[in-house]
Amino acid sequence: MKIAVLASGEGTNFQAIVDHVKLGILKNVDLELLIYDRQNAKAAERAKREGVENYFLDIKDRYEFDRALLKILKERNIELVALAGFMRILGEEIIREYQWKIMNIHPSLLPSFGGKGMYGLKVHQAVLMSGVKVTGCTVHYVDVAVDAGPIIIQQGVRIDEKIYELFSQNPSKAIEELSRKVLRYEHRLYSKAIQLFADNRLKVESQVIETKEGKKMVNFVRVDYSNNWEEEWDKRQRKYIEFEKNWL
């Protein structure tokens, strides 16, 4: 299955996908290319170092950007697009054309702490300001509303009291510490979602729900974990967790 990753910044999630492929954990997944939209994106350096084809899409206009992106995706027969720290909002046309074939990772348990303007460290700041005891990360399908597409998988991350103590003395240090902690789980979670997709284990189901305000259409992702899929995955991913320890 051919995938493209879209990134704007550091690219550590992109790196984690590369590592999962290199370690043979992600199976039947061909990482075709990285597309980036900021000249100084560190993700591009990573792609060059790793020998992954990379493409700088240097277009300001939203519609032109989407058109050019769509052209590349189609030409290359890309079957799944993974947004990894990609700081642009994609337009309706591309989302419809690639419906349920574009994923995104977000550093909180959506629908909490998501939406327009909620990205990167801002998310963790809002999390700590709220006083929640558990945060996490979410992989979801991209839909027209920002951070509101159907949720694929999530991972909870506990916030220790120590982080809150630090937050009261040095807020920016606490925000960074929490971001680093969540990021480690993002790196594991994204490849799991990609493998579930590649294994045809994800199905989006629409359901009409009667509410007091009237009928509402909701989309759910059903995940098929039958035949020990998750146990097998956890076993396979141990190799990455060992590998990750060496560079942390």
107 binding ligand GAR? (CB under 6 A): yes
* Shortest Å, Cβ 28 to ligand GAR: 23
Cα 57–62–68 angle (5° rounding)? Answer: 45
Out of 78, 90, 105, 109, the only residue in the binding site for ligand GAR (CB under 6 A) is: 105
Q: Closer to ligand GAR at the Cβ: 25 or 43?
A: 43
Please provide the DSSP assignment of 169-189 as one string.
H-HHHHHHHHHHHHHHHHHHH
Using CB under 6 A, which of the segments 69-77, 99-107, 127-135, 237-245 binds ligand GAR?
99-107
Please count the CA atoms within 13 angstroms of the CA of 154 that sit on its side-chain side: 16
* Shortest Å, Cβ 6 to ligand GAR: 11
CB-CB contact of 103 with 80 (8 Å) = yes
Name which of residues 176 to 205 contact ligand GAR (CB under 6 A).
183, 186
106 binding ligand GAR? (CB under 6 A): yes
Q: How far, in Å, CA of 218 to CA of 149, rounded?
A: 10
Out of 119, 167, 197, 240, the only residue in the binding site for ligand GAR (CB under 6 A) is: 119
SS3 139: strand
Q: Name the H helices within 23-160.
A: 42-50, 62-75, 92-97, 121-130
Out of 112, 120, 154, 201, the only residue in the binding site for ligand GAR (CB under 6 A) is: 120
236 binding ligand GAR? (CB under 6 A): no
- Residue 164 is which amino acid? Y
Neighbours of 222 (CB within 10 A): 10
Q: Closer to ligand GAR at the Cβ: 20 or 106?
A: 106
Check residue 51 and give left, alpha or beta (phi > 0: left; psi -120 to 50: alpha): left
Using CB under 6 A, which of the segments 45-53, 103-111, 219-227, 237-245 binds ligand GAR?
103-111
Out of 85, 136, 149, 150, the only residue in the binding site for ligand GAR (CB under 6 A) is: 85
Summarize as ranges the residues that interact with ligand GAR (CB under 6 A): 7, 9-13, 84-85, 105-107, 119-120, 123, 183, 186
Q: Which residues are catalytic?
A: 106
